Amino acid sequence: MTYSVDTQALVRRYLHTVNSGTAADVAALYAEDATVADPVGSGEVHIGRRAIEGFYSGLAAAEVNTELLTFRDGGHEAAFMFEITVGDKFRVQPIEVMTFDRDGLITSMKAYWTPADVIS
């Protein structure tokens, strides 16, 4: 655990790619065996880059905008709050936690939000 990564730059790259990239582009930011829980508590975890690409493909048809609101570094991890707007009817500010490997690939992502947090 002696490696160093710029977690804030990696989080900004992730949000930018969610904004403007394809599902494959986003999946490529993840390690091959990464896991995604979004939202945490749903009982569903996407395991592996292929499943993760499938998860993000749900956003592909819509206009997506993201904005980083608060960032907290944790070494090889980071926690942050951001706003995501999908189309003109879905807006939410999740808290996410990401872990990163020495290559800067995301090894896990957990998104904390519920339908009650959606801003109408």
Active-site positions read 14, 38
Of 45-84, binders to a second copy (CB under 8 A) are 70, 72-81
Return the number of the residue (34 or 78) whose C-beta is nearest a second copy.
78
Would you say the C-alpha torsion 90, 29, 105, 71 has a positive or negative sign? negative
Binding mask 83-112 for a second copy (x = CB under 8 A): ----------xxx-x------------x-x
The answer to whether 31 and 105 have CB atoms below 8 angstroms apart is yes
The rounded Cα 5 to chain-centroid distance in angstroms is: 17
Return the number of the residue (21 or 94) whose C-beta is nearest a second copy.
94
Peptide bond into 39 cis (omega under 30): yes
Token representation of residue 81: 């709050």
Residues that bind a second copy (CB under 8 A): 1, 39-43, 70, 72-81, 93-95, 97, 110, 112-114, 116-117
